[in-house]
Amino acid sequence: MLIEIRQLTRDNFHADSLDGFIRHQEVTECWRCIDGKWQLLPIAFTEDWDLPRLRDEAADILRTMDEGNPVIGAYDGAQVVGYAQLGERLGSRGQYIELVGFHVSEPYRKQGIGCRLFSAICESARAAGADKLYISAHSSKESQAAYHALGCVYAEEIDSIRAANEPCDVQMEY
């Protein structure tokens, strides 16, 4: 299977482009910061996006593109199997650009697609003049392992709005 990584545009991405995407994750453990120390806790839930949620995500990606922010996609033929999108500048010196979304469809995980997407979105961030990515990252054991494997670390400067909006997320940077 040849997966192509390319910039998303209105020509290659539409409101129904994520209809076949499988955003499914069985979470059994999550990281939480308790008294200043990170602990892995037994927190179980299933994340499973239905068609309306996928359509909302596609609409958000289209808005992101219309605002001029880069979105990179991974394609298996005409099917989107992964994507990464950048958002606004953050940080006291504007040193960050936010990684707004970063997902790989479940059947395509653990094949290096996420690494390729991450590398491509980092290039887009550099081209936009950012020093670092800011990531409000899912706290599941698996998501955190993936971010750490990519070289992400805890954010030096926490964005209070993102931290308040997603209090269970881990604020990271790359």
pLDDT digits (tens, 9 = 90+) for 49-70: 999 999 999 999 999 999 999 9
Mean of pLDDT values over 28-56: 95
Strand 132-137 and strand 96-104: pairing? Answer: parallel
Q: Using 50, 70 and 90 to split pLDDT, how confident is the model at 141?
A: very high
Q: Reduced to 3 DSSP states, what percent helix, strand and coil does the chain have, rounded to the nearest 5?
A: 30, 35, 35
Mean of pLDDT values over 2-6: 96
Which tens digit of pLDDT belongs to each residue from 87-138?
999 999 999 999 999 999 999 999 999 999 999 999 999 999 999 999 999 9
The pLDDT, as a whole number, for residue 24 is 95
Contact 72, 83 (CB under 8 A): yes
The pLDDT, as a whole number, for residue 100 is 95
The 3-class SS string of 21-42 reads CCCEEEECCEEEEECCEEEEEC
pLDDT above 90 coverage of the chain, percent: 99
Taking the C-alpha atoms of residue 100 and residue 93, their distance in angstroms, rounded to an integer, is 19
The pLDDT, as a whole number, for residue 31 is 96
Q: Using 50, 70 and 90 to split pLDDT, how confident is the model at 147?
A: very high
Q: Using 50, 70 and 90 to split pLDDT, how confident is the model at 1?
A: low
Q: Using 50, 70 and 90 to split pLDDT, how confident is the model at 7?
A: very high
Mean of pLDDT values over 13-30: 96
Contact 21, 7 (CB under 8 A): no
pLDDT above 70 coverage of the chain, percent: 99
